[in-house]
Amino acid sequence: MGRRVEIYDTTLRDGTQGEDVNFTIADKVKIAEALYDFGVSYIEGGWPGSNPRDIGFFNAVKKSNVPDEYIAAFGSTRRAKRTCDSDENIQALLEVEVPNLTIFGKTWDLHVTEALKIDLEHNLELINDSLSYLKTKVDKAFYDAEHFFDGYKANKDYAIKTIKAAMDAKADCIILCDTNGGTMPEEITSIMQELIKVTCNYPLGIHCHNDSDCAVANSVIAVRNGAVHVQGTVNGYGERCGNANLMSVIPNLQLKYGYDCVPAEKLKNLRTVSRYINELGNLKHNIHQPYVGRSSFAHKGGVHVSAIMKNSSTYEHIQPEMVGNRQRVLLSDLSGKSNLIYKAKDFGLDVDSSDPKINAVVESLKELENKGFQYEGAEASFELLMRKTMGTFTPFFDSMSYRVLDEKKTDESPLAEATVMLQVEGEKEHTAAQGNGPVNAIDNAIRKALLKFYPNLADMELVDYKVRILTAGSGTEAVTRVLIESKDSESVWGTVGVATNIVDASYQALMDSIEYKLLKDKEKII
């Protein structure tokens, strides 16, 4: 590997400032353990002087498997009218008893005179005094130069004086912050090149916000221009538009430029870390997120698929497995034979590209998508379509009819009742069941009819249900698409139904989901 770059993770402090991002103390400990296992250099746990939850984290993490030397706490320089010994924030940092502390101070003269209401020289004293004091108390004291790039552009000479104040105090690393997130990549380059001449190879770091969508690029460029320390968050969580996304920064530095950020064997856990922390925060996965998103290595156009089947590097910048992801082929009306052959192999089907049935599947797919079906999130429905069109599917049951009644009595919750008629192995099953809605009632009635023949259906449950109106402006006559996600103890799968009647669309998707479950279990036995 190349030059070592420290990865300083701020998910547990900066990240939690993002809208909708909220972690319990237990969550934060689990995240710290995951980040330690992944191999980051430092894990910033929070600001002990700001809230009880962060103090609770520092107490709880001591009982975890994360060694103390990986944990850092965050705070500010002392207040203008206090000494370090009497400053509550400084003392709160020391009370959590971690070996690494990071404090921020003002670099931009505007903030010194307007926010702190002190003179510029007094601010330099705050920086130097605070760091000098902390250096006698802990192993490492880092300095975040807040608003450094804006401060440098507004008053270059004063911004450099603040950096020298931190250098004179022997801060272990001085981190240059693009706090407003508005600095452009070429500005990062020119400012850092000028600063390095002044600081003479003093350890510098970078901390970028993403307000101009440049946080990842700016972090990488800063390293390319001498930074040895990068701060950021998992999945780019953070205030406003977020912070530099370490899920992109790390592979960019390590795979594209050869820097040593995390142990090489740990990089394959990148996607797992990203998804695990999303799950702990009950946050939706961004399927389009580079490197770790579900769509990062997904291919839809037939030309693309044909090429990657010959050589994946034709449309993939790295091997997906390097970051724990995988190649996927999507199915839509853009699909050609290549997509279908790829998917057939995925499904375990032995298909010859010259088989005329492949053309039949292509035509069916295009016709159905024209009607509103979508298989990108419903691959179970597509596998059933492919098998049925190619004549390799044996039905487990036949659907004959269904009926649904909805009833609402005054002062009572609505109640639905469904009746279904199915035929299994020549035997008719006519059953009824109730539910809290028509879809739930139909689901209950179908299971009631089939469970005695297929008891393994008891292991299946519906976990997500999405409805989309396809013909906007048609009012209650609109065509509706229903996507259902189901799971059992082993896997999760999606199915789709389309109709002008939302209940019928739901019935189609439910039937596909049950058929797929039975097919999957049968093949497992075989």
- Residue ending a domain, among 366, 389, 412, is 389
380 and 416: one domain? no
DSSP 29: H
Residue 445 lies in a domain: yes
Residue 347, pLDDT > 90, answer no
Q: Number of structural domains, the chain?
A: 3
Residue 403, pLDDT > 50, answer yes
Residue 362, pLDDT > 90, answer no
89 and 199: one domain? yes
99-107: average pLDDT:
97
Q: Give 367's pLDDT tier (boundaries 50, 70, 90).
A: confident
279-297: average pLDDT:
89
Residue 274 lies in a domain: no
Strands of 179-303 (E only): list them.
204-208, 229-232, 298-299
443-458: average pLDDT:
93
* Residue that wins the pLDDT comparison between 363 and 395: 395
Residue 481 lies in a domain: no
346 and 381: one domain? yes
Q: Which of 250, 276, 274, 275 is nearest to 262 (CA)?
A: 250
DSSP 314: G
Residue 465 lies in a domain: no
* Residues 40, 418: Cα–Cα separation, whole Å: 55
Q: Which domain holds residue 368?
A: 298-389
Q: Which of 374, 388, 379, 255 is nearest to 323 (CA)?
A: 255
Residue 473 lies in a domain: no
224 and 316: one domain? no
137 and 52: one domain? yes
* Residues 140, 171: Cα–Cα separation, whole Å: 8
CATH number at residue 432: 3.30.160
Residue 475 lies in a domain: no
pLDDT at 36: 98
Q: Give 299's pLDDT tier (boundaries 50, 70, 90).
A: confident
CATH number at residue 29: 3.20.20.70
- Residue ending a domain, among 431, 453, 475, is 453
381 and 438: one domain? no
18 and 83: one domain? yes
248 and 352: one domain? no
Contacts of 256 (CB under 8 A, 6+ apart): none
Residue 116 lies in a domain: yes
414 and 313: one domain? no
Q: Give 473's pLDDT tier (boundaries 50, 70, 90).
A: low
Residue 139 lies in a domain: yes
User: Mind listing the pLDDT tens digit for each residue in 301-340?
Assistant: 767 767 877 888 888 899 999 999 988 776 554 455 566 6
| Cβ atoms within 10 Å, residue 132 | 17
pLDDT at 153: 97
177-199: average pLDDT:
97
192 and 97: one domain? yes
362 and 408: one domain? no
- Residue ending a domain, among 453, 485, 501, is 453
254 and 332: one domain? no
For 360-370, b/e burial (b = at least 16 CB within 10 A) is: ebbebbeebbe
